[in-house]
Amino acid sequence: MDTSSHKKTRRSVGNITETADGRYRVMVSHGLRLDGGRRRLYRTVDTMEDAERVALELAAELGLRPDLGRGLTLRRWWEFYSVGKGQRIVRATFNRYRGDMERVWLPAMGGTDISLITRRAVQDVLLSLGTRSNAQHAKSALSAVLTQAVREGYLDENPIRQGGFELPGDVGAEEVSDADLDADPFAAIEGKSDVWDARTVLRAMPLLEGVPLETCWLAMVGAGLRREEAMALRWKDVRRVEVAGHEVTQIAVHRALTAEDGLKQTKTRRSVRIVAMVEPFGMRLWALHGAPDAPVCEVSVKTLPMRWKALFQPVTSKHARKKDRRQGRLVGFPYVPLSRMRATHETYMQQAGVLDSVNAAAHGHSEKVSYTNYQRPDTVDAALRAGSFLIVEGGRDGSECIESKAE
């Protein structure tokens, strides 16, 4: 039903229409859309005084922002991005962006002019995604796509880059049921953590001895490498040296390996780095070293996530071969994806008091932190401090676990 009345006032700046419910609809037009039509902005307010003010604001906004309301929808821009910038980034990254765009953003706002995408609309979508991880990945994908629109002059600014979004994990633990909280609140909350604590890491270490992906796990949890960085390592990229009276295992990080792109460069230039491993992980990795050109981890990059997940599943067959009994080694441990071992390392480094700037540089983060003062971050000192923290935090039980052998 048409709720507008016949009371319409033509003005020097925009049109103001009184609607049937007594409110005022403001329309301001200025310039042309990409398809040749007029650019128009609309807003509904409660009083004529507000309408007068809003008309001037909208006119100013249209004049100051040539990109505003030009008619380039998110769906159309994604098509441009896919055949342009999308062809110049690594396949693994583009495939992640495509999954989030097709699953999340195009259904939610594909027909929206990219200049009219608001923080409020983005926020609503993020909170509907269920998990913090899903929301973070979706936000990163949309931000990358809109940033390219800014670089090519189709958008004045990227609303995602301002930050400050709430994610599902910030607004309550929806995934924890009331029954679980009532039965054992500590277990229910700890079970939802997406990183392991120090005690869990130390308990897992002896259980993973001899498992084919052990070396990859050691590089991630002991040095904070990305999964693709750990999979690209050769033994010539690992060394054991003495620094200030301490023996330290160091890793030269300069390549990455993914199923989509094969062997490639690291994520960013800052990702090329030398990292000192935290003990006891460094000592264990060095004890496993092989021929210089041999891969540190010989597990297929395609099967690695599946093999990791299998460690948390019990063996059902009584006739399983002995080496297959490794499948259930982590039964009873809180499951987190293998990729979160990097975040686990970063977390306990922070808890050990390592400076955020050093921590970020050691992990090769692309975010702008205080790299000026830490072009060569002292990761040896940071690793020693984190190793001491693990021993203290892990406690007596953790120390005994390190020395024990997996059954």
Q: How far is Cα 50 from Cα 154, in angstroms, rounded to an integer?
A: 30
Q: How far is Cα 213 from Cα 146, in angstroms, rounded to an integer?
A: 38
The alpha carbon of 385 is separated from its chain's Cα centroid by a whole number of angstroms, namely 27
Let me know: does 173 contact 189? Beta carbons within 8 Å.
yes
- The radius of gyration of the chain from alpha carbons, rounded to an integer in Å, stands at 27
CA distances from 283 to 247, 276, 277, 278, 391 (A): 9, 11, 9, 9, 15
Give the model's pLDDT for residue 21.
86
pLDDT along the chain (407 residues), means of 10: 48 73 79 63 80 71 56 85 87 89 94 84 90 87 89 81 75 48 52 71 90 94 90 95 86 89 77 85 93 95 90 68 62 85 78 50 43 40 62 51 41
Let me know: does 193 contact 317? Beta carbons within 8 Å.
no
Give the model's pLDDT for residue 265.
82
What tokens appear for 279 in the block? 């003990």
Q: Which residues contact 79 (CB under 8 A, 6 or more apart)?
A: none
The alpha carbon of 163 is separated from its chain's Cα centroid by a whole number of angstroms, namely 14
Helix (H) or strand (E) holding 220: helix 214-223
Give the model's pLDDT for residue 324.
46
| Residue-range domains of the chain with CATH | 4-64 (no CATH), 74-170 (1.10.150.130), 198-403 (1.10.443)
Strand order of the sheet with strand 15-19? 4-10, 15-19, 24-32, 38-45
What tokens appear for 265 in the block? 């460069």
What tokens appear for 256 in the block? 């990455």
